[in-house]
Structure 1
Amino acid sequence: MTMMIIIFFTLALASIVMIISSILAKKTILDREKNSPFECGFDPKGSARLPFSLRFFLIAVIFLIFDVEITLLLPLVPILYLTPLFSWLCTGIFFLIILLLGLYHEWNQGALEWAD
């Protein structure tokens, strides 16, 4: 019964905080100047939503993927003396082969080419 009271109190408190924050966060000023993008005091010359290069986005995603994979390789160094050498080598080489195959596939598909 105590657990139910705690859960109810927590949900009620969270709901009250969310309702109060949504009430306080309402913008009541409907001014055209305040809603327009600010560009050094001048009216903007172009659209605020300019498209960006899809190649740049793809390179950024590939960088993030390989960056995360490198952080997965880092724990191999401290466990060198804690595991058998054969198991450590098989795991490390298998992971590196997967990385190199992924890099070769991206290179082969032309995803690493910045300009045509």
Structure 2
Amino acid sequence: MNIEQYLPVLLFILVGISVGVMPQVIGYVLGPNRPDAAKNSPYECGFEAFGDARMKFDVRYYLIAILFILFDLETALLFPWAIALKDLGLFGFLVGLEIVTILTVGFVYMWIKGALDWE
């Protein structure tokens, strides 16, 4: 093993680190530094903070979030299936159709049960 084989990998790592670090360094060095009370406050949203930061959320929020992730991932998995459909043949088409049917039935069930309604 000689070191010249690792030179592209080392160069790639150095370029990656510099692309990530250099904009931050340039921004810190060249950026304006004009602190005031609003910038130094923990909240910059335009109004004073209210309530407890550890307040409980409604369970429906988590349900909607989980359902979104579920359908988003399943939809993302349909793209490779659609691209490889010609190579998969009839069996691959039927398996994909089964997945789409299960997703549709689950979506209709959640819609009927009111899981997607936000009050």
Class of the TM-score when normalised by the shorter of the 2 chains: 0.5 to 0.7
- Tell me which stretches of 4 or more aligned residues in structure 1 moved more than 6 Å: none
Instruction: Judging by fraction of residues, say which structure has more helix.
Output: 2
Q: Tell me: CA distance 1:114–1:46, structure 2 relative to 1, closer, same or farther (3 Å).
A: closer
Q: Quick check: 1:62 aligned with 2:70? A: no
Tell me which amino acid in the other structure corresponds to 2:66.
V
Q: Which runs of 5+ in 1 are unaligned?
A: 1-37
- List per-residue Cα deviations over 1:59-103 (Å, max 9, x = no partner): 11100010111122111122122122x213211211110000110
Q: Tell me: CA distance 1:59–1:82, structure 2 relative to 1, closer, same or farther (3 Å).
A: same
Task: Give TM-score scaled by structure 1 length.
Answer: 0.54
Task: Give TM-score scaled by structure 2 length.
Answer: 0.53
Q: Quick check: 1:106 aligned with 2:110? A: yes
Q: Tell me: CA distance 1:90–1:39, structure 2 relative to 1, closer, same or farther (3 Å).
A: closer
Separation of aligned partners in 1, 2:86 and 2:96: 14
Q: Which runs of 5+ in 2 are unaligned?
A: 1-41
Where does residue 75 of structure 1 map in the other structure? 80
- Aligned residue pairs: how many? 75
